[in-house]
Amino acid sequence: MKHVFTSFCLIFLLNFYGFSQSKKRQDQEAIKEMCGCYEVTFNFAETFEYSGDSTYVPSKTKHDRGLEWVQLVEDESNKISMQHLLIVGKPDSPHIVKHWRQDWVFENTQFYMYDHNNKWKFVTLPKNDVKGQWTQKVFQVDDSPRYEGSASWVHIDGKSYWENEASAPLPRREYTTRSDYNVTIRRNRHEITEKGWIHDQDNDKVVREAGKDDVILAQEKGYNTYEKVDDSKCQAAQDYWSKNQGKWAVVRTKWSQVFARHQDLILAEKVDNKGLFKYLLDDENYQTADQINPVIDSFVK
φ, ψ (nearest 5 deg) of residue 256: -60, -35
φ, ψ (nearest 5 deg) of residue 39: -85, 125
pLDDT digit string (tens) for 72-101? 999 999 999 999 999 999 888 999 999 999
CA 136 → CA 63, 74, 113, 130, 190, distances in Å? Answer: 25, 14, 12, 12, 10
Q: Is residue 14 scored above 90 in pLDDT?
A: no
**Is residue 255 within 8 Å of residue 143, measured between CB atoms?**
yes
Q: Is residue 301 scored above 50 in pLDDT?
A: yes
pLDDT band at 3 (very low <50, low <70, confident <90, very high): low
Strand partners, 148: 137
CA atoms within 13 A on the CB side of 65: 2
Contacts 24+ apart (CB under 8 A), 42-46: 42/66, 42/224, 43/221, 43/222, 43/223, 43/224, 44/173, 44/220, 44/221, 44/222, 44/223, 45/220, 45/221, 46/205, 46/218, 46/219, 46/220
Looking at the chain, the whole-number percentage of residues with pLDDT higher than 70 is 94
Whole-number Å distance between alpha carbons of 59 and 54:
15
pLDDT digit string (tens) for 184-217? 999 999 999 999 999 999 999 999 999 999 999 9
pTM confidence score: 0.92
φ, ψ (nearest 5 deg) of residue 22: -65, -45
CA torsion through residues 175, 181, 182, 184, sign: negative
* E-state strands within 125-267: 134-139, 145-151, 154-156, 159-168, 183-192, 196-207, 215-229, 265-266
Amino acid, res. 272: D
| Nearest to 113, CA basis, from 193, 181, 183, 168 | 168
Taking residues 39-61, report their average pLDDT: 96
**Is residue 87 within 8 Å of residue 237, measured between CB atoms?**
yes
Q: Is residue 60 scored above 70 in pLDDT?
A: yes
The answer for 158, left when phi > 0, alpha when psi is -120 to 50, beta otherwise, is left
User: Residue 200: its pLDDT value, please?
Assistant: 98
